Amino acid sequence: MTVIGFVGLGAMGAAMAGRLLGIAGNQVHGTNRTRSKAEALIAQGLWWHDTPREVAVSSDVVISMITDDAALSAIADGPDGILAGLRPGSLYIDMSTVSPRASRELAARVSAAGAAMVDAPVSGSVPAARDGGLTIMVGGTDEGFKAAEPVLTQLGKVTHVGLNGHGLLLKLAINTSLAAQMVAFSEGLLLAQRGGVDPAVAIKVMTDSAIGSPMLRARAPLVLDLPDQAWFNIQLMHKDIRLAREVGHEEGVLLPSAAAIEVVLREAEKLGYGHRDIAGLFEVLAKATA
């Protein structure tokens, strides 16, 4: 029996915890800021705890999936945080998309406590999390990666990409490209639609063409029928682009597409699309160019 703790049971975290619950040999403990979001998982067998510390105390491996640096500090620090409950020799896997700097700093404190930490952000949305189809990039020591691999392979394809923080660096690189693809696709579709092409026809041809990446093929149907429940919302994408630009500034890397994308994301939030899926960028551009 592998006892896995899960802190952060939002849309992605709940999908991942649900998958782990469904695999024989796992016992999953968890907590979330809002218990109501975990009720379905509790019904499936999740062991609920009131604090991240209690989850860490009860688990061999602790996983977290939260939104940003501030949330990471909130679940990791203080008397009720993960650090207070980690046992020597235990493993902490943070799968959030936070700044590489914040992750490295936390990894150093985890190591000082006698435990190990890896950053393991994911590429993929809620359906991929449910199906075990995530792409997971892991930053950390060889020993940390080997300890994390058996759990992470239950969630997707796993690659050790380097030292602590390197998984996050690669995730930000991927999301910069992903956002650029979504904006460019929306621009092209809007151009075709305004010129008189049936948008459904345009979507089929575009996704069958050379630009039809797996991400675009999966999201294109959402563009004309935007779901109420986001797979990956615009507010989170904006956070990732800001992080990418911060790292770019630190490393002296020019990121012109990220700068242009942020203009569109700010407009999206201004129009009330912050919690809508990134497929909503098509509607944002349509309204901005009406």
Q: Looking at the chain, how many residues does it have?
A: 290
Contacts of 46 (CB under 8 A, 6+ apart): 6, 17, 21, 28, 29, 30, 38
| Fold of the domain built from segment(s) 2-163 | Rossmann fold (3.40.50)
SS3 sequence of 200-259: HHHHHHHHHCCCCCHHHHHHHHHHCCCCCCCCCEHHHHHHHHHHHHHHHHHHCCCCHHHH
Give me 122's structure tokens: 């994911």
Known active-site residue 146: no
Q: Is this model's pTM higher than 0.85 or not? A: yes
Equal fold, 2-163 vs 169-288: no
For domain 169-288, which CATH number applies: 3.30.230.30, 2.10.109.10, 2.40.10.10, 1.10.1040.10? Answer: 1.10.1040.10
**Region of residue 156 (phi > 0: left; psi between -120 and 50: alpha; otherwise: beta):** left
Q: Report the distance separating Cα 124 and Cα 113, nearest Å.
A: 32
277 backbone dihedrals φ, ψ, rounded to 5°: -60, 155
Q: Report the distance separating Cα 117 and Cα 61, nearest Å.
A: 10
Could you list the mean pLDDT of each consecutive 10-residue stretch along the chain, which spans 290 residues? 95 96 95 94 97 97 96 97 95 97 97 96 92 97 97 98 98 96 97 97 97 93 93 95 96 96 97 96 92
Contacts of 208 (CB under 8 A, 6+ apart): none
User: What residue spans define the domains of the chain?
Assistant: 2-163, 169-288
Q: Report the distance separating Cα 274 and Cα 253, nearest Å.
A: 27
Contact between 82 and 107 (Cβ < 8 Å): no
**Whole-number pLDDT of residue 125:** 86
**Whole-number pLDDT of residue 279:** 96
Q: Report the distance separating Cα 136 and Cα 159, nearest Å.
A: 6
**Whole-number pLDDT of residue 1:** 84
Give me 8's structure tokens: 């952060």
Instruction: Choose the catalytic residue: 171, 204, 239, 270.
Output: 171
